[in-house]
Amino acid sequence: MRYLPLTDTDRREMLAAIGVDSVAALFRDVPRGVWLERPVDLPLAKGEIEVERALGRLAAKNLPAGSVPSFLGCGVYRHHLPAAVDHLIQRGEFLTSYTPYQPEISQGTLQSLFEFQTQVALITGMDVANASMYDGATACAEAMMMANRLTRRHKAILAGDLHPHYCATAATYARFAGHSVVERPPDPTAEDDLAALLDGETSCVVVQNPGCFGHVRDFSALAAACHRAGALLVVVVTEIVSLGLVKPPGAMDADIIAGEGQSLGNPMGFGGPHLGLFATREKFVRQMPGRLAGQTVDVDGRRGYVLTLSTREQHIRREKATSNICTNSGLCALAFTIHLALLGEAGYVRLAELNHARAAAMADRLARVPGVTLLTQSFFNEIALRLPRLAAPVVDALAARGVLAGVPGGRLWPERPELADLLILAATETTTEDDIEALAAALAEGLR
Amino acid sequence: MSTVKYTRDHEWVRVEGDVAVIGITDYAQTQLGDVVYVELPELGRKVEQGKEAAVVESVKAASEVYAPISGEVIAVNDVLSGEPGKVNLDPMGEGWFLKLRMADPKELDALMDEKSYSGFVEGLH
């Protein structure tokens, strides 16, 4: 394919056609404060070797989570990725295929999506899962919008330990749909009584399990309270490995599950591309957003796969569609499916057990560091600590010593000084005893 | 004898006392093709003439079904949730969608009778 760059004439003609006088005018909705008011500082041309060296120098400024003791979490987790995952997803048939509108040429992709959906439905304990969303945060927002459609109500209650970025995404969706959200204040001790907030206007309560501070809870009673009030319970899961050990949201009688699937098959990748998981009850499937692969038979009775229930979707339903998502995170979903298939059911449970064991060892060790208070008594692989001082400078000091000591509260809730002494840390199967010891020693020294 | 009236959006309404039975016409089901799902309103909902009352999905498309007249939903055809194909087989009979308690029978005057509707459909070809 030839690359045909635009000429100045092309640009002028296109701008004239849409009645705009400059390319910059197309970006007028971007707040002025974040505009770069000068050209990007890049040389016009460099040789390949020079470029590699320059970029290598830049990359060396990072402290990669994979090469040091890392306790980063809060929605993105470091796990071991089997080499087979990357090898298989790079096959051209998978790597280059796009959203499979034509079943006659897309059986492999459709089958992998069908398997993916089956896995997601099984681990969440739900009836049906879609072929994935963009990421956990958008899946959460879509779950809220779906609950609003199903209940014909427009007020969602967002739990105080729902990840603040998920809250912000849901609030943005709600704002532009003319709906409302009740964002509960951050709840590091998980004491908020959400059932008491339910009223006749409430479409859903959105909770996260394990919560953003690490707490693991059983939301069965909240689900029952929601249903009595005519509302739905949306459960967000940002660490999908937890479902190997934690009671699945389906068993708590949740109505919609929105999850982040990065932990299986996908690298942290500076926060993306990641993998939104979405599952619900069969009775709600008509209001589910996103693509759905289904299994059927052809005219000769042979098994085959198709996209199904497409009449929910934008290319058919137009403005009445359940969502404007017309695609999915196909390759990330495939990586998830391969990783989970390699683990198998027993391996998945064992992985979850390992994660919890490492986190328990971490919690025990850190609770012995003078001045540190452990806030999370029931957790999966993530805990919250209260430090005797601001957490962010401590994290910076430990990073300088080659330890990524988790996420300080001030990073997630910059507008809440009362959370600035919180530190949230995750441990996974990649965390060693030495890592925990290095962290504890550095933390003790950093707090001295 | 009951009165049957038709809309330009291919719904029919059959009046039985102060109750109006509503469905889609044979022309509508032919155009849609195999109906795979019907979304019906909840009982007690008030619908307005010309506004959405139900949704019908076929293998080809999803379409709104508009209320031919205003009223309160007093019954829906639950059979369609399991057997949506009844809409294709018997659109004016077993394939009915919902029953309304009519708010204003005068609204019927704005609708077509069978003869005008047949002429209207002829004109579409």
Provide the CA A362 distance to its chain's centre, in angstroms.
24
- On chain A, the residues whose CB falls within 8 A of the CB of B36 are 311
Tell me the H-state helices in chain B: 26-32, 79-82, 86-89, 114-122
Q: How many CB atoms lie within 10 A of CB B109?
A: 7
Report, in this order, helix, strand and coil percent for chain A, each rounded to 5.
45, 15, 40
Quote the minimal CA–CA distance from A310 to chain B in Å: 9
A208-266 per-position pLDDT tens digit: 999 999 999 999 999 999 999 999 999 999 999 999 999 999 999 999 999 999 999 99
Q: Go through the domains of chain B in sequence order and give each one's CATH number.
A: 3-104 (2.40.50.100)
Q: Which of B36, B37, B61 sits opposite A316 (nearest CB)?
A: B61
Q: Which residues of A touch B61 (CB under 8 A)?
A: 311, 316
A contact set with B (CB within 8 A): 286, 311-312, 316-317, 320
Q: A26: Cβ–Cβ under 8 A, 6 or more apart, which residues?
A: A20
Which residue, among A311, A312, A313, would best test binding to B if mutated, counting the most B CBs under 10 Å from its CB? A311
**Searching chain A, which residue's CA lies closest to the CA of residue B56?**
A311
The yes-or-no verdict on residue B19 having pLDDT over 60 is yes
| Shortest Cα–Cα distance, A106 to chain B (Å) | 20
Contacts of A286 in chain B (CB under 8 A): 37, 39
Contact present, A275 and A336 (Cβ < 8 Å): yes
Residues of B in contact with A310 (CB under 8 A): none
More confident residue, A390 or A36: A390
Query: Are the beta carbons of A286 and B37 separated by less than 8 Å?
Result: yes
Q: What share of chain B is helix, strand, coil (3-state, %, to 5)?
A: 25, 40, 40
Residue A323, SS3 per DSSP? coil
Optimal mutation site among B39, B57, B66, interface A, most CBs of chain A within 10 A: B57
Interchain pair A311, B61: CB under 8 A: yes
Q: Residue A312: list chain B partners with CB under 8 A.
A: 62
Report, as an integer, the average pLDDT of A200-211: 98
Edge-first strand order for the sheet with B52-58 is B35-39, B52-58, B62-66
For chain A, which domains are there? 65-81+344-446 (3.90.1150.10), 83-338 (3.40.640.10)
Q: What is the mean pLDDT of residues B11-17?
A: 95
- How distant, in Å, are the alpha carbons of A143, A265, A279, A383, A412 from that of A284? 11, 29, 10, 34, 33
Q: Which helix (H) or strand (E) holds A359?
A: helix A330-367
- A323-332: average pLDDT: 88
- State whether A316 and B62 contact (CB < 8 Å): yes
CB A141 within 8 A of CB A172: yes
pLDDT at B11 over 90: yes
Cα distance between residue A134 and residue A138, in whole Å:
6
User: Is there a contact between B62 and A286 if contact means CB atoms under 8 Å apart?
Assistant: no
Residue A2 confidence (pLDDT) above 70: no
**Structure tokens, A295:** 């299994």
> Given this model, what pLDDT does residue A313 score?
83
Please report which helix (H) or strand (E) contains residue A435, including its range. helix A433-446
- Asked whether residue A160 carries a pLDDT value surpassing 80, the answer given is yes
Spell out which chain B residues touch chain A, with contact meaning CB-CB distance below 8 angstroms: 36-37, 39, 57-58, 61-62, 64
